[in-house]
Amino acid sequence: MSINWFKYSAPSTFYPLAGRMIPWFWWSAILCIGFGLYWGFFQTPAILSDQKQYYRIIFPHVGAAWMSMWLYAVLVGWALAGLVFNTRLSFMMAQAVAPTGAIMTFIALVTGAFWGKTSWGTWWDWDPRMTSELILLFLYIGYMALQSAIDDSRRADRASAVLSLVGLVTVPIIFWSVNCPDPNQCTALHQQSGMGRVDTNILIAMLITALGFWLYSFAVIFMRVRTLILERERSTAWVRELPEISR
Amino acid sequence: MKPRQKRLLFAAIGLAGVAAAAVLITQALRSNIAYSFGPSQVAAGEAPKDHVFRLAGMVKKESFKRTGDGLTAEFVVTDTAQDVTVRYNGILPDLFKEGQGTVAKGRLAPDGVFLAEEVLAKHDETYMPPEAADAMKKGQEKSLEEVRKAAASAR
């Protein structure tokens, strides 16, 4: 028996599969974010050696920042798959990822500003970490703008896929901007992102909230891609025969 | 070559280009000048003399004092090799204290004192309750001392 790897690469088979998976992602996202934030607000130390209560901004901040970078890699992955295999669904996935990635980047920047004001003494500083994260937000916005600026969706897909690939350069820069081997070599205002010196309860809350953000991303991206499928495949027979359409 | 393989090749070349660009940019960021100068660079005259730059380093222990009107703060920023005296009139952030990292924005006065317009606190990635962090710090200082001793005996 051979597995058909491309079975779910057709919009007509992926549409119902995504529909069945969305509630599972929603419920697990709500559970994870709820548990993670509860743990973060009530089961963690009230005071750290440096920060006071406000350090709890870290729970939404870290998850959103991780997702902002990860979703960009996912977006580029789908865009490349679309360019190489010429599959319609890949481009729709890339297009569906972008708004969620932009929102995560925005959340990371805003919560980061709160952290900055309380810990460092400023809302914003042009340090390498913050500047490269801001560029990532502009890349998401640029991707969405280019995608919607070209009427022919096939051409729009290709042009924005190439743009997203070029923009991929910022993701390793965001990571390395604070994490170089010798911390004295890359000065930034933002601290390094080591996991070694983190209280266990803080770590649990942070990781579970981040997982919740990921599951949330799956849920909304699948919802968005289903809308895109209906929009782009509206003239096909299988869409017209869908019970929610033909009704 | 089939069209699909050709496109795959283009995609691979594109990814390789992106990787190369990322390496080059991070190397450029590493050369420090992109963001701030340390006391040693200031002492070597590498920092700009006529415009604003950022001075990054550690607030030297027992160097902080209030002068004159009681509002102006004076402290020493050090990288253990070189020191720069900083004068600042303004609100210091909550986490600013001796022995902690700081990033000050300002310019050098002719007498070598750094006149700061803004002073920020830089902290490390320790997210632990005070007792645990203290215990960890003590352990680190101990191991640092051991490293220093080993280096001295190697000489």
> What is the three-state SS of B1-36?
CCHHHHHHHHHHHHHHHHHHHHHHHHHHHHCCCCCC
**Does residue A50 sit in helix, strand or coil?**
coil
Question: What is the average pLDDT across A93-103?
Answer: 97
Indicate if the pLDDT at residue A69 is higher than 80: yes
- Locate the chain B residue with the closest alpha carbon to A53: B129
| Cβ within 8 Å of residue B133, ≥6 positions away | A48, A49, A197, B126
A43-69: average pLDDT: 90
Indicate the residue of B18, B94, B129 with minimum beta-carbon distance to A168. B18
What's CA B2's distance to the chain center, in Å? Answer: 52
Q: Is residue B65 within a helix (H) or strand (E), and if so which, with residue range? A: strand B65-67
Segment A80-90, tens digit of pLDDT: 999 998 889 99
Query: Which residue type sits at A7?
Result: K
Residue B59: its pLDDT value, please?
92
The single-letter code of the amino acid at A26 is W
- Quickly tell me which residue has 């559970």 as its tokens: A31
User: Which of chain B's residues have a Cβ under 8 Å away from the Cβ of A45?
Assistant: 128-129
Candidates A97, A92, A37; CA nearest to A71 is A97
Residue A153 has pLDDT above 70, yes or no: yes
pLDDT value of position A27: 97
Mean pLDDT over the full length of chain A: 91
Give per-10-residue mean pLDDT for chain B (155 aa).
84 89 79 74 85 90 84 90 91 87 91 92 84 74 71 64
User: What is the C-alpha to C-alpha distance for residues A73 and B16, in angstroms, rounded to an integer?
Assistant: 15
Average the pLDDT over A201-213 and give the result. 95
Give the Cα separation of B149 and B130 in Å (integer): 28
User: Could you tell me if B86 and B77 are in contact, meaning their C-beta atoms sit under 8 angstroms apart?
Assistant: yes
pLDDT of res. B24:
84
Q: What is the mean pLDDT of residues A185-200?
A: 79
Half-sphere exposure of A202 (CA within 13 A, CB side): 21
Instruction: Please state the domain extents for chain A.
Output: 38-190+204-222
Q: Which residue is closest to B126 within chain A, CA to CA?
A: A197
Cα three-residue angle A170-A171-A175, rounded to 5 degrees: 110
Confidence of residue A192 (pLDDT cuts 50, 70, 90): confident
pTM, two decimal places: 0.88
CA atoms within 13 A on the CB side of A198: 20
Q: Exposed, middle or buried by CB within 10 Å (0-12, 13-18, 19+), for B96?
A: buried
Contact B7/A185, CB-based, under 8 Å?
no
Query: Is the pLDDT at A178 greater than 90, yes or no?
Result: no
Q: Which of A47, A83, A192 sits opposite B11 (nearest CB)?
A: A83
Do the strands B53-59 and B72-78 form a parallel or antiparallel pair, or are they unpaired?
Answer: antiparallel
> A9-50: per-residue pLDDT in tens?
889 999 999 999 999 999 999 999 999 999 999 998 888 878
Interface touch A120/B127, C-beta < 8 Å: no
pLDDT band at A181 (very low <50, low <70, confident <90, very high): low
Rounded-to-integer distance, Cα A42 and Cα B7, Å: 52
Are B26 and A172 in contact, with CB atoms under 8 Å apart? yes
Distance, CA of A118 to chain centre: 26
In chain A, residues with a C-beta closer than 8 Å to the C-beta of B8 are 84
CB pairs under 8 A between A and B: 141
Q: Write the CB contacts of A125 (distance below 8 Å, at least 6 apart in sequence).
A: A116, A189, B103, B120
Q: Is the dihedral of CA A102, A104, A108, A111 positive or negative?
A: positive
Q: Which residue has the tokens 């703060």?
A: B73
Q: Which residues is B66 bridged to in the sheet?
A: B73
Give yes or no for residue A184 having a pLDDT over 70: no
Residue A182's pLDDT band, with cuts at 50, 70 and 90, is low
Using an 8 Å CB-CB cutoff, list chain B residues near A197.
124-128, 133, 136
Alpha-carbon distance A20 to nearest alpha carbon in chain B (angstroms):
32
Long-range CB contacts (within 8 A, 24+) of B144-149: none
CA distance A60 to A47: 18
pLDDT at A247: 66
Output the CA–CA distances (angstroms, integers) from residue A201 to A67, A105, A194, B133, in the order listed. 21, 25, 16, 15
Right CATH for B39-122 from 3.40.109.10, 3.40.190.10, 2.40.50.140, 3.80.30.20: 2.40.50.140
Give the pLDDT mean for A223-238.
93
Instruction: Find the closest chain A residue to B29 by CA distance.
Output: A186
Cβ(A140)–Cβ(A157) below 8 Å: no
Using a 10 angstrom Cβ sphere, with 0-12 exposed, 13-18 middle and 19 or more buried, the burial of residue B70 is exposed
Q: Are A108 and A64 within 8 A, CB to CB?
A: yes
Say whether B129 and A45 touch across the interface (CB within 8 A).
yes
For residue B54, the cross-strand partners are B105
CA distance B126 to chain A (A): 5
Q: Are A178 and A128 in contact (CB under 8 A)?
A: yes
